[in-house]
A and B are shown apart, each in its own frame.
Chain A
Amino acid sequence: MQAFEWEKPLLELETRISELKEFVHSEEMDFSQEIKTLERKASKLRKEIYENLTPFQRVTMARHPKRPTTLDYISLLFDDFIEFHGDRSYRDDQAIVGGVGLFEGRPVTVIGPQKGRATKDNIARNFGLPHPEGYRKALRLMKQAEKFGRPIITLIDVVGAYPGIEAEERGQGMVIAQCIEEMSFLKTPILSIITGEGGSGGALALGVGDCILMLENAWYSVISPEMCATILWRDSSRAAEAAQLLRLTPTDLLKFGIIDDVITEPLGGAHRDHVTTGLQMRSFMRRYLATIIKKPADRLVEERLVRFRKIGMFNEKSLADL
């Protein structure tokens, strides 16, 4: 497993413990005291490291190559799933997946950006950077959900919509605007979960939910830390400092009232234990979905609009008064 510099002491310790255990097993010697001490040490270190993550450490956790992708979450969260393809206009963008799944027996529409695993998959998925046709497919599926009265669950993990020539030619900005606008008025419950990266408009285009949750090691902001650092200091390697400034962690966003709740991950991050992460998500989803599906559609839309209408901080006075 790919390790971060800051978790290396812990991983070394964990390796030593497992080596010792193996040794004991093969040589039939008693090192149980030593193992216990080391395990106690490891558990202390684990807490120390993971409970004090810096914003940028969380960003790197959100990007861990072994972190569950949208399709992984789909198999963890839904009892059955059928994927649907295509925007009915140009192409099937594999950087966004969508379809219908069963969540605890109820059919729901599921949509989310999809990052690849190996090189080949990554190329097919365009490294999880969607084109306009991906957003058009998402919008098509969301409208389909509305038609059949199905709740929508969006799983968001995208650093941004693809900044490419053809993406621009096919209306990347336009389609993001349309997604945001149309999603806002859909007469069906929408639950959005930021599972990894929540990078600006490309994330918001799928994030206009009645309820917005975020995994503990996810980030959501108007810009990626790298780009922010490039703008501020012309140096993308200072992303860690930028991450600090952007207030992009779930804790910040909960405090700002942008999200409704934070889904805790297993200690060490979702990539260490997919199954537990999935179970944890399921329980949050069950709880929040229950509160939104019982509301009449008109009220949902009304409340959704009010939710976003209220966001913003400003002074109601003129320059002269200040």
Chain B
Amino acid sequence: MLNVFKGKPKYLTVRPQEEPERKDFPDNLWTRCDSCGKMIFNKELEKEAFLCASCGHHFRISATKRLAMLTEAGDFEAFPPLVAMDPIGFPGYAEKIKQAQEQTGLDDAVLIGKATIKGSPCILGVIDFSFIGGSMGSVVGEQLVRGFEKGLQEELPVVIFSGGGGGARMHEGIFSLMQMAKTAQAVGKHSRAGLFFISVLTHPTMGGIYASFASLGDIILAEPGALIGFAGPRIVEETTRQKLPAGFQTAEYALEHGMIDAIVSRSQMLSYVGRLLAWHR
């Protein structure tokens, strides 16, 4: 899956059109595991939280599926939607947004709202890779900030899955860069009021998302195998002209180097986050 980032400088999002044509999964009955190559029956995959039964590979999932895994029906109340503008008049951006909206049914790359996880009320946000690489532009930034503000107002913890957060959204130029400051400050206000923030890094969490709110959790978790880092591996390789160490920028690597608190399998995520929330009530 590392080749997803080929040619990707830091901060940049992965362009969906470079991905093989697929939704979460093809419409046929079987899916080949990206990691071990085994064929998996789709129904099985769905039942197993989109994990490969043989190698444990974590398939990328949509924000909607992620929400369904974490909350019971009716336990998520989404914030009013926001829709992107084209602040610097970047050619093709308006069409790109429209296309992403049609393909995903989402307004932008984040789903966020008030939720209850294992009985604990919280603010829950999930970033969706399939929307322009899960990149952070003005809408994602604003929605996240509103999440932390709502959390502050109602004294609620915040849980963000930076799932597929590719980084800043280049098409919004300086406005996307400034979302890093805006979100980091929102975390700071929430945190300084003594409130709790769990940041969960899933594949891939890079660039401007990693270098802002996602790195500022009281507790930082990651899914196994998730790519986590500042600069994309290809850029690091090109700049340093060094061979990258095995497992470079994986969740396991981040754990070894002291960057995250723990790696949590998707099948354990609900109970893990549930316990953490309960212990911080």
CB distance from B95 to the nearest CB of A (A): 14
Contact partner of A312 (CB less than 8 A), chosen from B138, B185, B212, is: B138
Whether the Cβ atoms of B85 and A314 lie closer than 8 Å is yes
CB distance from A38 to the nearest CB of B (A): 42
Q: Is A42 an interface residue (CB 8 A)?
A: no
* Contact partners of B176 in chain A: CB under 8 A: 222
- Of A200, A220, A319, most buried by chain B (CB within 10 Å of CB) is A200
Question: How many residues on the B side are at the interface (Cβ–Cβ under 8 A)?
Answer: 73
Whether the Cβ atoms of A246 and B182 lie closer than 8 Å is no
* Contact partners of A45 in chain B: CB under 8 A: none
* Contact partners of A305 in chain B: CB under 8 A: 185, 189
Contact partner of B215 (CB less than 8 A), chosen from A165, A170, A178, A223, is: A178
- Of A177, A246, A319, most buried by chain B (CB within 10 Å of CB) is A177
Q: Is B75 an interface residue (CB 8 A)?
A: no
Whether the Cβ atoms of A313 and B188 lie closer than 8 Å is no
* Contact partners of B178 in chain A: CB under 8 A: 204, 258, 308, 311-312
* Contact partners of A258 in chain B: CB under 8 A: 174, 178
Residues 176 to 230 of chain B near chain A (Cβ within 8 Å) = 176-182, 184-189, 192, 206-208, 210-216, 229-230
Stretch at the interface among B22-30, B53-61, B120-128, B239-247: B239-247
Contact partner of A181 (CB less than 8 A), chosen from B8, B184, B235, is: B184
Smallest Cβ-Cβ distance to B12: which chain A residue: A231
Whether the Cβ atoms of B12 and A223 lie closer than 8 Å is yes
A181 to B186, CA, bound (A): 9
Q: Is A295 an interface residue (CB 8 A)?
A: no
Contact partner of A201 (CB less than 8 A), chosen from B11, B101, B172, B236, is: B11
Whether the Cβ atoms of A168 and B248 lie closer than 8 Å is yes
Whether the Cβ atoms of B174 and A222 lie closer than 8 Å is yes
CB distance from B136 to the nearest CB of A (A): 10
Q: Is B47 an interface residue (CB 8 A)?
A: no
Smallest Cβ-Cβ distance to A182: which chain B residue: B188
Q: Is A287 an interface residue (CB 8 A)?
A: no
- Of A181, A234, A252, most buried by chain B (CB within 10 Å of CB) is A181
Interface size, A (range): 35 or more
CB distance from B198 to the nearest CB of A (A): 16
Smallest Cβ-Cβ distance to A315: which chain B residue: B83
A200 to B11, CA, bound (A): 8
Q: Is A217 an interface residue (CB 8 A)?
A: no
Whether the Cβ atoms of A201 and B177 lie closer than 8 Å is yes
Whether the Cβ atoms of A163 and B231 lie closer than 8 Å is yes
Contact partner of A222 (CB less than 8 A), chosen from B11, B212, B236, is: B11
Smallest Cβ-Cβ distance to A312: which chain B residue: B138
* Contact partners of A118 in chain B: CB under 8 A: none
Q: Is B173 an interface residue (CB 8 A)?
A: yes
Whether the Cβ atoms of B173 and A312 lie closer than 8 Å is no
Whether the Cβ atoms of A180 and B181 lie closer than 8 Å is yes
Contact partner of B173 (CB less than 8 A), chosen from A168, A201, A221, is: A221
Interface residues as binary, A51-83 with B (CB distance below 8 Å gives 1, 0 otherwise)? 000000000000000000000000000000000
Q: Is A296 an interface residue (CB 8 A)?
A: no
A167 to B8, CA, bound (A): 17
Interface residues as binary, A181-203 with B (CB distance below 8 Å gives 1, 0 otherwise)? 11011000000000000001100
* Contact partners of A162 in chain B: CB under 8 A: 239
A246 to B89, CA, bound (A): 9
CB distance from A180 to the nearest CB of B (A): 4
Stretch at the interface among B34-42, B64-72, B139-147, B272-280: B139-147
> What are 14 inter-chain pairs, A to B, with CB distance below 8 A?
A162-B239, A165-B240, A174-B211, A174-B215, A178-B216, A181-B185, A184-B184, A227-B9, A227-B12, A256-B175, A311-B178, A311-B182, A315-B84, A318-B80
Q: Beyond A177-B214, A315-B83, list 15 extra A-B contacts (CB 8 Å).
A: A161-B230, A163-B232, A167-B230, A173-B210, A176-B212, A181-B185, A201-B212, A204-B178, A248-B173, A258-B178, A305-B189, A312-B175, A313-B175, A314-B82, A322-B83
| Chain A residues within 8 Å of B, Cβ to Cβ | 160-165, 167-174, 176-178, 180-182, 184-185, 200-201, 204-205, 208, 220-224, 227-228, 230-231, 234, 245-248, 252-253, 256, 258, 305, 308-309, 311-319, 322
Q: Which 8 pairs of residues, A with B, have the shortest CB-CB distance?
A: A163-B231, A312-B138, A173-B230, A177-B215, A227-B9, A173-B210, A222-B177, A313-B87
